[in-house]
Structure 1
Amino acid sequence: MDYIILDIEFNGRKFASEHPMEVIEIGAVRLDSSLQYKDEFSSLIKPIYFSTLNSFIKKKTGIPQEDIDIAARFPKVITAFQTWLDQSEDGVLLLTWGGEDMKRIIQDIRMHKMDDSYWMAATYFDLLKGVLRARGLSNDISVEGAMALLGLEPSGSAHRALDDAKMTAEIFRAIFSDLDFGRSQHYKDTFSNARERKTVKVAIKAMTSQKIVPTWELVVEHYFTDKATLADPRKVAELQEYFAAQVGRR
């Protein structure tokens, strides 16, 4: 099995919009089962929305606007990337820094009305969480922060997909023996956001401090003032499951 260290960059916006942010760059490194470098993949993508990069994204990534203007669209790039992934005859394990990369790729696949089954079936390992568990840390750290923690020397340009993938590969090599690959996973759709989950957590803490037995009904009645946020039954089911898990920890 090969290890694919994956990184993406996506465009941003300075204002509220119904249009999604999109992947604008994919970078990946392939390591063999002995953690030796085999090859790499890199491509820019011209997005449908916000194709003119704002100043923040240009400064953060250093991607020239003229390179984005002539880049291929997402369907062509993701198809080429999947073909590249399939060159690993014995399968692959994807490694990402956090869960956002998988989410963004699947979001764009769906936006372009492409079949998402390849990516929903893909097995990936969240290396960020792996590093946190291995080092007993509770707060997220950046790739650069992990490099410093492990005494590794950063190289390339931060926030360019291929360079970030290469640095992440070095982290992976350095901490490989401490990783629990039993925590590899498949992407799972989420319907609630971090703010909504925090509301549930705060509600449970407040009720417990007042010696009130927390119930889902009380959370909805007193802490979700905008009931429209709970219109989606998939979100409600997800938050109820989160509520039960949080109460079970107490």
Structure 2
Amino acid sequence: MDYIILDIEFNGRKFASEHPMEVIEIGAVRLDSSLQYQDEFSSLIKPIYFSTLNSFIKKKTGIPQEEIDIADRFPKVITAFTEWLDQSTDGVLLLTWGGEDMKRIIQDIRMHKMDDIYWMEATYFDLLKGVLRARNLSNDISVEGAMALFELDPSGSAHRALDDARMTSEIFRAVFNDLDFERSQHYKDTYSNARERKTVKVAIKAMNSQKITPTWELVAEHYFSDKTTLTDPRKLAELQDYFTAQVGRP
């Protein structure tokens, strides 16, 4: 099995919009089962929406607008990337820094009305969480922070997909023996956001401090002032499950 260290960059917006942010760059490094470098993939993508990069994204990534203007669209790039992945004849494990990369790729696949089965069935490992567990850290850290943690010399430009993938591959090598690959997973759609899940945790903590037995009904009544938040049955079920899991934690 090969290890594919994946990183993406996506565009942004300075104002509220119904249009989604899109992937504008994919970078990946392939390591073999012995963690030896094999090859890499890199491509810019011209988005449908917000194709003119705003000043924040240009400064953050350093991606030139003129290169975005002549880049291929997402369907062509993701097809080429999938074909590159399939060159690993014994299968692959994707490594990501957090869960956002998989979410963004699948979102764009669906936006372009492409089949998402390949990516929904792909196995990936969240290396950020793996590092946090391995080093008993409670707060998220950046790729650059992890490089410093493992005393690795950064190279390339942060926030360019291929350079970030290269640096992440060095982190992967450094922490490999401490990783629990039983925690590899498949992408799962989520309908609640981090703020809503935090509200549930805050509610449970507050009720426990007041010696009130936490119930979902109390959380929904007193901590979700905007009742429309809970009208989506998928989100409601997800938050209820999250509540049950949090209440059951020691």
TM superposition shift of 1:47: 0.4
For residues 116 and 40 of structure 1, what CA distance do their matches in structure 2 show?
Answer: 23
Q: Which residue of 2 aligns with 1:225?
A: 225
CA RMSD of aligned residues (A): 0.6
Show CA shifts across 1:100-144 (max 9, x none): 000000000001010000000000000001111111111000000
**Which position in structure 1 is the counterpart of 2:41?**
41
Query: Which amino acid in the other structure matches residue 140 of structure 2?
Result: D
In the alignment, which residue of structure 2 is the partner of 1:70? 70
- TM-score, normalised with respect to structure 1: 0.99
Structure 1 residue 212: Cα displacement: 1.2
Query: Following the alignment from structure 1 to structure 2, what is the Cα–Cα distance between the partners of residues 135 and 161?
Result: 25
- Runs of 4 or more above 2 Å deviation: none
Q: Which residue of 2 aligns with 1:131?
A: 131
Shift of 1:192: 0.1
Please report how far the alpha carbon of residue 248 of structure 1 lies from its aligned counterpart in structure 2 after TM superposition: 0.7
Matched residue SS, 1:4: strand
2:173 corresponds to: 173
Match of 1:106 in 2: 106
Unaligned stretches of 5+ residues in structure 2: none
Distance of 2:75 and 2:220 partners within structure 1 = 41
Deviation at 1:249, TM superposition (A): 1.3
TM alignment of 1:1-250, pairs within 5 A: 1-250=1-250
One-letter amino acid matched to 1:225: S
Cα offset for 1:208?
1.3
After TM superposition, give the deviation of residue 210 of structure 1 in Å.
1.4
Shift of 1:194: 0.5
CA apart distance, 1:63: 0.1
Structure 1: segments with no counterpart, 5+ residues: none
> d(CA) in 2 for partners of 1:222 and 1:155?
50
User: Partner letter of residue 182 of structure 1?
Assistant: E
- Structure 1 counterpart of 2:206, one-letter code: A
CA drift of 1:241 comes to 0.4
Q: Give the Cα separation in 1 of the matches to 2:175 and 2:102.
A: 22
Aligned length: 250
The percentage of counterpart residues that share the same residue type is: 89
2:170 & 2:200 partners in 1: Cα distance? Answer: 38
Distance in 2, Cα, partners of 1:142 & 1:206:
31
Per the TM alignment, residue 197 of structure 1 is displaced from its structure 2 partner at its CA by: 0.5
Alpha-carbon distance, 1:79 to partner: 0.3
Deviation at 1:205, TM superposition (A): 1.1
Using the TM superposition, give the Cα deviation of residue 84 of structure 1 relative to its aligned residue in structure 2, in angstroms. Answer: 0.3
Q: How many Å separate the matches in 1 of 2:28 and 2:5? A: 5
Letter in 2 for 1:229: T
Q: CA deviation at 1:207?
A: 1.2
Deviations 1:9-67 (A, max 9, x none): 00001111111100000000000111111100000000000000000000000000000
Distance 1:146 1:97 in 2: 11
